[in-house]
Amino acid sequence: PDFIKVESARKVYATGRDTVEAVSDVSFSVTRGEFVAILGPSGCGKSTLLMMCAGLESITSGRIGIDSMPMTGPRESIGVMFQDSTLLPWKSVLENILFPVRIMRRPVRDYMDRARSLLAMTGLTGFEHKKPHQLSGGMRQRAAICRALVTDPDILLMDEPFSALDAMTRDEMNEALLGIWDRQPKTALFVTHSIREAVLLADRVLVMTRRPATVVEDLRIPFPRP
Ligand code: ADP
Ligand code: ADP
């Protein structure tokens, strides 16, 4: 039943002579289909934890298993989204969304319907042939959501995906995300320092403390999301 299992995960960065213990001793598990927010102050190790879950950063000690397999590197079944999920500027919105399909060397025509339905869900229909600079910041992040979901990954890992946006656009993005999850719920880890965003989006909220960087609280949101 544990889809994501993090056991005593620790990360120490070595920079020259200095070492930084970015994540101290984090353990938690997530069942399939849960939307879990990881909340905590800036610098507490949230990004590092997420990068280890994505297989993009090595684990100093402890274990992270996803679908009963230890994380040793990036996987096709895991989508990621960052605060600045840069779109390729010389490619159209549609080409950007389909880029992961090309990376995985799969036939683009098999993913065209899915790309178009994601464009519709995020209100980007009609903008597919625009270049990223012709869109607003909010629209670019919506395109980044489409790109992260186009190959239908089992898990979406998001690192403060909307924190560069103004408050109103951010509310719209949260609405867009909830809209997608209503139609096709997925297992998600969502890193944020906004309590409001965590409570709005997540089924569960994990709270990380600054030092030592561990998970202290596991708050289950008992009420249905709006
Ligand atoms: P958060 O996402 O909660 O803001 P981070 O995971 O980015 O926290 O950072 C946790 C700590 O690890 C910070 O003290 C940060 O300076 C340090 N850190 C993050 N990445 C690196 C790195 N690549 N090299 C050295 N130190 C790092
Ligand atoms: P967002 O809230 O996603 O940042 P804006 O508030 O900037 O979007 O834009 C609101 C609406 O205005 C968009 O949904 C879109 O219909 C239209 N729009 C924004 N930028 C452009 C553009 N460069 N070209 C055409 N229409 C645009």
Work out the average pLDDT over 115-132: 94
**What is the pLDDT at residue 62?**
97
Average pLDDT, the chain: 90
**What is the pLDDT at residue 70?**
94
* Pairing mode, strands 35-39 and 78-81: unpaired
Query: Over pLDDT 70: what percentage of the chain?
Result: 94
**Tens digits of per-residue pLDDT, 14-68?**
988 899 999 999 999 999 999 999 998 888 999 999 999 999 999 999 999 999 9
pLDDT at 222 over 60: no
Work out the average pLDDT over 119-135: 94
Mutation test residue for ligand 2: of 92, 119, 139, 140, the one with most atoms within 8 Å of CB = 139
**What is the pLDDT at residue 226?**
47
Work out the average pLDDT over 177-204: 91
Which residues form the pocket of ligand 2, taking CB atoms under 6 Å from any ligand atom?
123, 134-139, 169, 172
- Residue 224: pLDDT band (50, 70, 90) is low
Q: Which residues contact 59 (CB under 8 A, 6 or more apart)?
A: 9, 10, 11, 52, 71
- ipTM for the whole complex: 0.68
What is the DSSP secondary-structure string of 80-111? Answer: EE-TT-PPPTTS-HHHHHTHHHHHTT--GGGG
Work out the average pLDDT over 144-157: 94
Ligand 2: centre distance to CA 92 (Å) = 16
Ligand at shortest distance from the CA of 174: 2
Of these ranges, 46-50, 168-172, 191-195, the one predicted with the greatest mean pLDDT is: 46-50
Please say whether the beta carbons of 200 and 209 come within 8 A: no
Q: What are phi and psi of 10, to 5 degrees?
A: -140, 145
List of E strands, 1-136: 2-15, 18-31, 35-39, 61-66, 69-70, 78-81
Ligand at shortest distance from the CA of 138: 2
**What is the pLDDT at residue 83?**
84
Mutation test residue for ligand 1: of 24, 44, 48, the one with most atoms within 8 Å of CB = 48
Q: pTM for the complete prediction? A: 0.83
**41 Cα nearest atom in ligand 1:** 3
pLDDT at 214 over 90: no
Query: Over pLDDT 90: what percentage of the chain?
Result: 67
Please say whether the beta carbons of 36 and 26 come within 8 A: no
Please give the Cα distance from 88 to 70 (Å, whole number).
Answer: 31
